[in-house]
Amino acid sequence: MKNLRPLWLAAAMLLVILGLFPSAVYAQATAHYVPGVEGIKGASLPPPGLYLRDYNVLYFSNRLNDANGHEIPGSNFRSTVYAQVPRLVWITDAKILGASIGVDALWPMVSQDVRVNTPGGLFDSNTFGVGDPFAEATLSWHFKQFDISAGLGEWMPVGASEAPPTTKAGLGYWGTMGTLGATWYPDAEKTWAVSLLNRYEVNCQNRNTKITPGDAYTLEWGISKSVCKPVDVGVVGYYQQQVVGDHGHGAAGNRDRVAAVGPEISGFIPPLKLFISLRYDYEFMAEDRAQGNTVCLTLTYRF
């Protein structure tokens, strides 16, 4: 079991940047990246090798909040979003400044079902489609009690999109996302871990609305304990906020934000070379956006 420890630890730390599925109408605002898909040791990257990771993400909400965090009366809001996202990750043997060089890419498949009252009447729509792909390059360092990771990647507006309200899977604009994170192991045996992962997105003009969405910041965190060698349990959470207002004719001045917290359990199945993690995030605060719940089941296989 000892020789398997590096594998399941590495799997638990996979992927510094995680853009998943694009935003549902009125549910996620300006960010391509949807928070809640990383948690325990989420700021660490694995050792050199080829990995396939499959994210299964469910977001559901029946509450739409105004800019003060109060539920909008009569919104008749309901949103259910499911994304299945395969991601291929290659951490190479090449190094620069002591860091391993990696590349990865994903292409989400998204099902969205949204109902909400709008000034033009009731909007009720459901769509399944392919979203916007994402590709990035990463650097990762592994020290005695710390892991540090950084990445830079690009969202490509390939998925079908249209002006809101819509449930189309694409967002209709290019986006650049940078990430910097660290995982700290307080004890020598590395049974405890504290992880912080920061992401910042800069967006280009939306081809459908001619509006440039404002920059978005996302923080994901996790505190975990190894209860036995293949199993970790912990508390995770996220915070996301639009930090720059939208630009262009008809752009709204509001800046949305949201925060969530919840449990996670993760483990490794040696005969299958499979790492499994399951987390739930409850959104306890949201402004100018939906307030709901995120469930994420992640399967990771190392070739």
Q: Closest Cα to residue 177, out of 220, 213, 218?
A: 218
| Structural tokens at position 252 | 């709204």
Q: What is the dihedral of CA 82, 267, 220, 87, to 10 degrees?
A: -50
Q: Are 59 and 93 in contact (CB under 8 A)?
A: no
Write down the domain spans for the chain.
2-302
pLDDT of amino acid 255: 87
Phi and psi, residue 145, nearest 5° = -120, 5
CA–CA gap between residue 138 and residue 150 (Å, rounded):
6
Length in residues, the chain: 303
pLDDT of amino acid 247: 87
With residue 6 as reference, give the H or E element that holds it.
helix 5-12
| Structural tokens at position 222 | 């996790």
Residue type, 248: G
pLDDT of amino acid 23: 40
pLDDT tens profile 245-280: 888 888 877 789 999 999 999 999 988 989 999 999
Burial of 129 (0-12, 13-18, 19+ CB in 10 A): middle
Provide the whole-model pTM.
0.88
Phi and psi, residue 2, nearest 5° = -60, -40
Q: Does residue 165 have a cis peptide bond before it, meaning omega lies within 30 degrees of 0?
A: yes
| Structural tokens at position 300 | 């990771």
pLDDT of amino acid 226: 94
Spans of the chain below 50 pLDDT: 1-28
pLDDT of amino acid 241: 96
Q: How far is CA 181 from CA 116, 164, 200, in A?
A: 37, 33, 12
Q: Are 209 and 198 in contact (CB under 8 A)?
A: no
Q: Closest Cα to residue 238, out of 204, 266, 279, 272?
A: 279
Q: Are 266 and 7 in contact (CB under 8 A)?
A: no
CA–CA gap between residue 107 and residue 117 (Å, rounded):
31
Q: Are 17 and 7 in contact (CB under 8 A)?
A: no
CA triplet 18, 22, 24: central angle to 5 degrees? 140
Tell me if the domain spanning 2-302 has CATH number 1.50.10.20. no
